[in-house]
Structure 1
Amino acid sequence: MNPAASESVRHAVRVDSALAGARLDQALAALLPEFSRSRLQQWIESGQVLVNDAPRRCRDKVWDGDAIRLDALLAASDACTAQDIALDLVHEDAHLLVINKPAGLVVHPAAGNPDGTLQNALLHHAPELAKVPRAGIVHRLDKDTSGLLVVARTLAAHKSLVEQLQARRVHREYRALAVGELVTGGRIDAPVGRHPTQRIRMAVVPHGRPAVTHYRVLERYPGHTLLGVELETGRTHQIRVHLTHLHHPLVGDRTYGGRPRPPRGCAAELTLELQAFPRQALHAIRLGLNHPASGEAMVWEIPIAPDLEALLDLFRREAKVGTDSP
């Protein structure tokens, strides 16, 4: 860790009778609610928390009158450099940002994408995000998924949003163009984990993490269906994997869906656009949560991304032609 790129965090607190007998990590989370429990656990395990001037373990109990001292370093996001990359801001205040992420923008730096990411852009737009884990990003969208994503601007907001996500109180709704003609909506409850043989893919596997997706039919086209999809959980590639599990993969999803499948006898323009569509046809259209400071219920909704809307217009024209045919 580079101390020059970190901020000292020092707190001295005392356990009262209400917390007597609690685990150290539980008591400290109650006494210092601005920090997440996982972060406090890391500090405890690394010896940066002392109880009565002695290091303790997370599971050790504390008692009335115990003096707890935290002396830690809050690492800045210096592994990720600020870059002047345009952001489409849907909402901004002192506590959070809501971003309309375009398709093609990677969220976090990783192998193959060391920079040019949303995290780089956020650090340029709001340098104080260097003091928040992952520059405040609490959930992600795949590189080629477009739409709404929330960012915490403070540690307190980060803690609140993470807790809301864990408690499934964040509402996330998507538009998904699926291959095949679905008759009705439904609920997919199928565990998602790493594919047993293809490590870059996820799959429905018996010992995966619990995953629940709700979907409803919005529009039907020749050989395809526009769905409204809502996440109950947020596993990696969850919507893509669950719809593939139903044998209705997303249009443009080369990882899970294979080659494009133009409707038989459709217009040449639609065939060409389907074959050229460069990404999975998935857009995060609606986001709802409780504001981390005021507790107010907030909802944001944006239009479908232009490239997906243009493809849907071609399908609507195709469907109309089929309806008008004698």
Structure 2
Amino acid sequence: MAERIVKEVQVPVDFSGQRLDQVSTELFEDFSRSRIQSWIKEGTILVDGKKVKAKEKVFGGETISLSVLVENQEVHLPEDIPLSIVYEDDDILVINKPSGLVVHPASGHRDGTLLNAILHHAPEVGHVPRAGIVHRLDKETTGLMVVAKTLAAQTDLVSQLQDRSMGREYEAITIGVMTGGGVVDEPIGRHPHNRQKMAVEPIHGKEAITHFRLVKRFKNHTHIRLKLETGRTHQIRVHMSFVKFPLVGDPQYAGRLKMPKACSPELQEGIRLFRRQALHAKKLELTHPISGEFMEWEVDLPEDMQHLIELLKQDMEESGSDDSEYY
């Protein structure tokens, strides 16, 4: 079984002076550099519609296009896994992903994924690369995701992600009390010593921008709303940890579990039992890929985050702290 992969990107000026194969590897990050180089040699990667050599330099503004037929080494099977569907038509599917659901099969998670569930719910997406999945959420992150049901819809949605016109807003609970919102503009790449993690990498990282604002301050925590300009792996988790406000429950970026001083036994238990990053994709905005209509959806926080927020409120009230600091 083979799938046709079609991608087109414009070279950012930041890449001026770099080799075509280097730039293409950065822009088409799902593929290895060796595969990229072979496609350039075959002419399936073009620059402004022309075949060029891998060592040729780009200067920014060129259009790099990829059109290739890739043989799938694995056949993913449909599985009857319940989906929380927020919206669906002939072209797109919007779901509210629960915690614990892996988005795409990978080592250690060959089945039981969102992709398997989508193939069962809408078998026609089997003809679309990656079953129409255009962006991902971490396994334990909850919230809104859009899936393309046709190749045309997928191409358009990927374009919206690349030009940053698709709006994605999240809510999170951080460790520590913030004094105000802000922006984290720090490049993200693989952690130099732990390949399972990401990190702020000033030299080799890719551009990553996260905006955040306060929703409410608690005694030792902050409820925040975040908006992404870019979509790097673990972006929110890495950026919040970098500015010393890691997410509650984050097993990779929050460090060893420490209980805040003078908090209630109920809150201590709630924090101890919260064993995932407190992060939820709350709002999604996009232009419908076929009709051109602007669309938006918003879903409530999951029960575990709502419960944690209630415990934080109760802890403030019991200590006599001001409970009016909503933003």
Distance (Å, rounded) in 2 between the aligned partners of 1:46 and 1:130? 28
* Structure-2 change in CA distance of 1:94 and 1:267 (3 Å): same
Query: Aligned pair 1:222/2:219, yes or no?
Result: yes
Instruction: Give the partner amino acid of 1:174.
Output: Y
Instruction: Give the partner amino acid of 1:215.
Output: F
2:205 maps to which of 195, 203, 208: 208
Question: Once the 2 structures are TM-superposed, how far is the Cα of residue 47 of structure 1 from its aligned partner?
Answer: 11
Distance (Å, rounded) in 1 between the aligned partners of 2:159 and 2:298? 22
* Structure-2 change in CA distance of 1:108 and 1:324 (3 Å): closer
Question: 1:173 maps to which residue?
Answer: 169
Distance (Å, rounded) in 2 between the aligned partners of 1:183 and 1:110? 40
Contact kept? 2:3, 2:128, Cα under 8 Å: no
1:296 maps to which of 293, 314, 325: 293
Question: 1:199 maps to which residue?
Answer: 195
Query: Aligned pair 1:251/2:239, yes or no?
Result: no
1:235 maps to which of 228, 232, 236: 232
2:312 maps to which of 283, 296, 315: 315
* Structure-2 change in CA distance of 1:176 and 1:72 (3 Å): closer
Distance (Å, rounded) in 1 between the aligned partners of 2:206 and 2:72? 31
Alpha-carbon deviations, 1:152-211, whole Å to 9, x = none?
010000000000000000100001100000000000000000011111110001120000
Query: Aligned pair 1:158/2:154, yes or no?
Result: yes
1:109 maps to which of 86, 101, 105: 105
Distance (Å, rounded) in 1 between the aligned partners of 2:3 and 2:190? 37
Query: Aligned pair 1:58/2:46, yes or no?
Result: yes
Instruction: Give the partner amino acid of 1:87.
Output: L
* Structure-2 change in CA distance of 1:252 and 1:58 (3 Å): same
* Structure-2 change in CA distance of 1:157 and 1:76 (3 Å): farther
Residue correspondences, number: 278
Distance (Å, rounded) in 2 between the aligned partners of 1:76 and 1:198? 29
Instruction: Give the partner amino acid of 2:275.
Output: P
SS at match of 1:284: strand
* Structure-2 change in CA distance of 1:45 and 1:312 (3 Å): same
Question: 1:96 maps to which residue?
Answer: 92
Query: Aligned pair 1:261/2:261, yes or no?
Result: no
Alpha-carbon deviations, 1:281-313, whole Å to 9, x = none?
000000000000111110000000111111111
Contact kept? 1:179, 1:261, Cα under 8 Å: no
SS at match of 2:147: strand
Distance (Å, rounded) in 2 between the aligned partners of 1:45 and 1:202? 28
Instruction: Give the partner amino acid of 1:227.
Output: I
Alpha-carbon deviations, 1:228-284, whole Å to 9, x = none?
011010000000000000011000001110233332121111101101111000000
* Structure-2 change in CA distance of 1:110 and 1:56 (3 Å): closer
Contact kept? 1:262, 1:270, Cα under 8 Å: no
Higher Cα Rg, which structure: 1
Alpha-carbon deviations, 1:35-92, whole Å to 9, x = none?
x9x99x99x95999xxxxxx88735659xxxxxxxx9868679621100000000000
Query: Aligned pair 1:79/2:79, yes or no?
Result: no
TM-score, normalising length: structure 2 = 0.78
* Structure-2 change in CA distance of 1:239 and 1:7 (3 Å): closer
Contact kept? 1:77, 1:131, Cα under 8 Å: no
Alpha-carbon deviations, 1:94-133, whole Å to 9, x = none?
0000010001000000001010000000000000111001
SS at match of 2:320: helix
SS at match of 1:164: helix
* Structure-2 change in CA distance of 1:75 and 1:291 (3 Å): farther
1:182 maps to which of 160, 170, 178: 178
Which ranges in structure 1 are unaligned for 5 or more consecutive residues? Answer: 10-35, 49-54, 63-70
TM-score, normalising length: structure 1 = 0.79
Instruction: Give the partner amino acid of 1:303.
Output: D
Distance (Å, rounded) in 2 between the aligned partners of 1:310 and 1:284? 17
Contact kept? 2:40, 2:46, Cα under 8 Å: no
Query: Aligned pair 1:127/2:123, yes or no?
Result: yes
Contact kept? 1:218, 1:228, Cα under 8 Å: yes
Q: CA RMSD in A?
A: 2.9
1:286 maps to which of 283, 286, 298: 283
Distance (Å, rounded) in 2 between the aligned partners of 1:8 and 1:251? 41
SS at match of 2:96: strand
Which ranges in structure 2 are unaligned for 5 or more consecutive residues? Answer: 6-27, 52-66, 323-327
Distance (Å, rounded) in 2 between the aligned partners of 1:247 and 1:121? 37
SS at match of 1:138: coil
Distance (Å, rounded) in 1 between the aligned partners of 2:249 and 2:178? 18
* Structure-2 change in CA distance of 1:61 and 1:142 (3 Å): closer
Instruction: Give the partner amino acid of 2:46.
Output: C
